[in-house]
Amino acid sequence: MTDTNIAPNLPQWMKDHVDRYLSSGGTDGHMYKITLPNKPELTVPSLLLITKGRKSGQKFLFPLFYGPAGKGYFVVASKGGAPEHPGWYRHLMAHPEVEIQVGTEKMKARARVASGEERAKLWKAGVGFWPPYADYQVKAGSREIPVVVLDPIS
């Protein structure tokens, strides 16, 4: 991961989270604790996603909340309900082969967008571990927030 840049424009709390995750080798930061206003504390699993920039070809690292999906994992391209997809998602559409770190385990994966019943099931699971996703979908309006499956590859 030495030739990887932390994604530009991340908020400071995410940069701090990545620093903690990387400096501990994944033993600290994998389970992220957060308290939202007027809500109880949540503990959410997080992974590190390394994408290849669609324009620059550089590697970028993004911390994302995730859930299990078959032998792999899934992430939600919410961007907090913004009207456009996040940069990491656009990178995946151009270059679906990625690297991920889940806790202390590092692997290569191929990204694909879930649809139909699979998307519905994973979306429900995502809202289960991160309830704000439901609000983000309302805020996103007509943009259906993508659910991305990261299938391990050898």
Domain range annotation of the chain: 4-153
Nearest CA-CA partner of 107 in 70, 72, 60, 149: 72
User: Which homologous superfamily is 4-153 in?
Assistant: Electron Transport, Fmn-binding Protein; Chain A (2.30.110.10)
The per-residue pLDDT for 2 is 53
Determine the Cα–Cα distance for residues 51 and 91; give it in Å rounded to an integer.
6
The per-residue pLDDT for 126 is 97
Q: For the chain, 154 residues long, give each residue's pLDDT as a single digit of tens.
A: 557 888 878 888 888 989 999 999 999 989 998 887 787 888 999 999 999 989 888 999 999 999 999 999 999 999 999 999 999 999 999 999 999 999 999 999 999 999 999 999 999 999 999 999 999 999 999 999 999 999 999 7
Name the maximum alpha-carbon separation found in the chain: 44
E-strand spans in the chain?
4-6, 31-34, 42-52, 59-65, 67-69, 72-76, 97-102, 105-113, 147-153
Q: How far, in Å, CA of 6 to CA of 58, rounded? A: 11
Which pLDDT score, from 0 to 100, does residue 49 have?
A: 97
